[in-house]
Amino acid sequence: MDGAPFDPVARAVATSRRGALKLALGGVLGAAFGTLGLQEAAAACRAAGQTCGPNRTCCAGAACSNKRICRCKAGRTNCSGQCVNLSTSEAHCGACGTTCPSGASCLDGACSCPISAVTYCAASNACVDLRTDAQNCGACGQTCLSVQTCVSGTCQCPSGGVVCPVATTCTDLQSDLQSCGTCGQTCGVGQLCRGGACCDPCGSAGACCSTGQSCIDGACCISSRNVSCTPGGTPCCHSDLPCSQGSCLCRTADLCGPICCPPGTTCQSDDTCS
């Protein structure tokens, strides 16, 4: 059978197939080169301060000036080539390089913490609670001593101590020899500070006698009748008062109301010895 009549048809089919393949290949290559072109264009954008022109577009926030230099648009500032809004940029808040801490936002050029009870302290670049932060107690930069804690925005010493003007630590006014009762109140040589008052120690134990007591033979005793005593031991009787049957006797001349006046004193009209 003669195949000549089919040659034109075969050639037409082959030609159409080659055309279709060329179109398809062209579409694929065109898309690939188009994507590559966009990537190159993005990578090749010109930073603020760099030259610009045809095929040299400026990066976001900048525009090409008539001098072919990328300039930041109105409301934006050049920070190392980037055009940023200092009012809202958390990396450049209020000024280039001022970075807000994690969790904070930039509002009107100032770092703002997310919780109302927390304050932004610029010096430490942190969001802190001024009520409890020992490095920022009551106000940014207000530092407590190492032994203090921050309570309700106030530095407080343990056990009710205070910080005296000349001291660098907490002082217990109840027992401090250099500040006994009040800051700067110094006790004498050999004295103790007990209960915020300077006193002379009584006996080898080094204790101070309480109000109304006196030191008798190394013991703190009350000068009154019928105070218990131990004959032959350490009596709570004045040296010229005898200890009889476990009680201190009082000479009639020394009797003053319910008490005995110590030697060298006399009873006054108000039943006190002086």
The residue extents of the domains of the chain are 121-156, 162-199, 204-260
pLDDT grade for 75, boundaries at 50, 70 and 90: very high
Q: What's the CA gap between 11 and 261, in Å, rounded? A: 146
In one letter, which amino acid is 177? L
Average pLDDT over residues 168-181: 91
pLDDT above 90: residue 54: no
Length of the chain equals 274
pLDDT grade for 6, boundaries at 50, 70 and 90: very low
Phi-psi region of 241 (alpha: psi -120 to 50; beta: other; left: phi over 0): beta
Give the other-Cβ count within 10 Å of 19's Cβ. Answer: 10
Average pLDDT over residues 50-72: 89
Q: What's the CA gap between 230 and 245, in Å, rounded? A: 8
Mean pLDDT of the chain: 78
Question: Tens of pLDDT along 108-150?
Answer: 999 988 887 789 998 888 999 999 999 999 999 999 998 899 9
Pair of tokens at residue 114: 């997310």
SS3 10: helix
Name the least confident of 52-66, 91-105, 252-266: 252-266
Closest CA to 156 of 165, 147, 168, 167: 147
Q: What is the pTM of this model?
A: 0.49
